[in-house]
A = this chain, B = another copy of it.
Amino acid sequence: MTESLPRFSAAATRIAGEDAVVEILRLAERPGVISLAGGLPDPAVFQVEETRAAMERVLAEHASEALNYSPNPGVTALRELLAERMGEREGIPAHPDEILVVSGGVEGIRHALNGLCDPGDPLLVEDPTYLAALHIARELGLRPTPVASDSEGPIPEALDEVCDRLAGARLLYANPTFSNPTGRTWSRERRMRILEVCERRDVFVVEDHAYAELRYDGTPVPALKAIAPERVIFIHTFSKIFGPGLRLGWVAANPALVARFGLLKLGSDQCSGALVQRLAIAYAESGALDRQVRCSRALYRDKRDAMLGALEAGGSDSPLGLPSVRPEGGFFLWLDTAVDTEVLLPRAIEDHRVAFVAGAPFFADPESPPARTSLRLSFSHVPARDIPEAIRRLGASVGAAG
């Protein structure tokens, strides 16, 4: 008997290839493999006792609300807290009506792209950029369109040129601070200039702020949202400052956008979980959130330094070389190699017991030359003691392939 299966939609067909990434991440979890693949927090940063105490308070004081539906835009007290926190920590003046609570940053990116772009529209991106944004763009039938960059960020003239070429260019997705995957941070001056071009060209910016609170050194730069609030749809998440297991983030934008994204949310998950929203409130109010951010910075700084140190120790003989960006925060190092990293990866896992993420899925065109030869290393989750051995194995695998 042949199995009857329905035909997939065009949207589902456009993302079918992503299966390979899922499969590779599964391989990376085999025992004995040191994984530098997933961008996960180190469980050592979780403040478990504070989390327990915060949950205890939620269930003692707010159980009826916490177990029931949340208002669609989010629990009011959380929207108030987030607006205030953005003002205090980021210099971004925000009103609670400008906040939409979402189930992680990806949901916010989805509503921004789906709410503001039609199939066939270009979506301006850095190249490489966050693969989930590209995934969503492909599902929606958008055309991810790279804007050329240098070490300071996207090049203003290149943005102008793309806008000349593509009349429909209306949205730029950016991860300007400790970017996933490159670790790069746009300079302050570059932020001003890019936002000037956006203003002149009537391009709006989706600013993904996921890693920005995790700065380990260097001089803080203002969020795009702080420079040009009306131009920017700001997306932040609790995933890197509390825990991804909450699935909790937020969008800060004009109230008219927040209202419409809320309607889109009615058709994605109706509302975000009231239980985790209440937990986030209690956790933040206890001071644990700020403590976790401080403790995360110290831990990840050491890991970044350990990984950079291991790469440097390889010396000029190493087939790995050094990352062109020394990240001042975030989770990632980005390397360009002389080999095809998608071909390398299964061999690295199988023969050398080390995993990474190949560069291709981070590029608008996964077949372009830098896409083929680059790779992302995450230093966030690997135990610090395993970092030198991981880099040694990675070097051996690239050497064997070269």
Contacts and interface: CB of A to CB of B under 8 A. Distances in A.
A384 to B, nearest CB: 16
Given A4-B230, A16-B260, A69-B244, A273 B276 contact: yes
A6 B106 contact: no
A246 interface: yes
A269 B243 contact: no
10 contacts: A6-B116, A6-B204, A9-B114, A15-B266, A43-B67, A46-B63, A48-B63, A69-B245, A247-B247, A247-B271
Given A3-B254, A116-B9, A257-B6, A15 B269 contact: no
Contact of A15 (B116, B171, B247, B267): B267
Across the A-B interface, give the 10 residue pairs with the lowest CB-CB distance, nearest first.
Answer: A67-B243, A43-B64, A245-B274, A247-B273, A67-B245, A12-B115, A136-B267, A48-B63, A103-B269, A245-B275
A114 B11 contact: yes
Interface stretch (A49-57, A77-85, A156-164): A49-57
A242 B263 CA distance: 25
Copy number of this protein in the oligomer?
A: 2
A327 interface: no
A11 to B, nearest CB: 6
A54 B32 CA distance: 33
Interface residues of A, number: 80
A202 interface: yes
Given A254-B3, A260-B8, A276-B276, A267 B115 contact: no
Interface string A235-276: 000000011111100000010110110111011111111111
Given A63-B46, A247-B272, A132 B8 contact: no
Nearest to A204: B6
A89 B171 CA distance: 49
A70 B116 CA distance: 29
Nearest to A233: B6
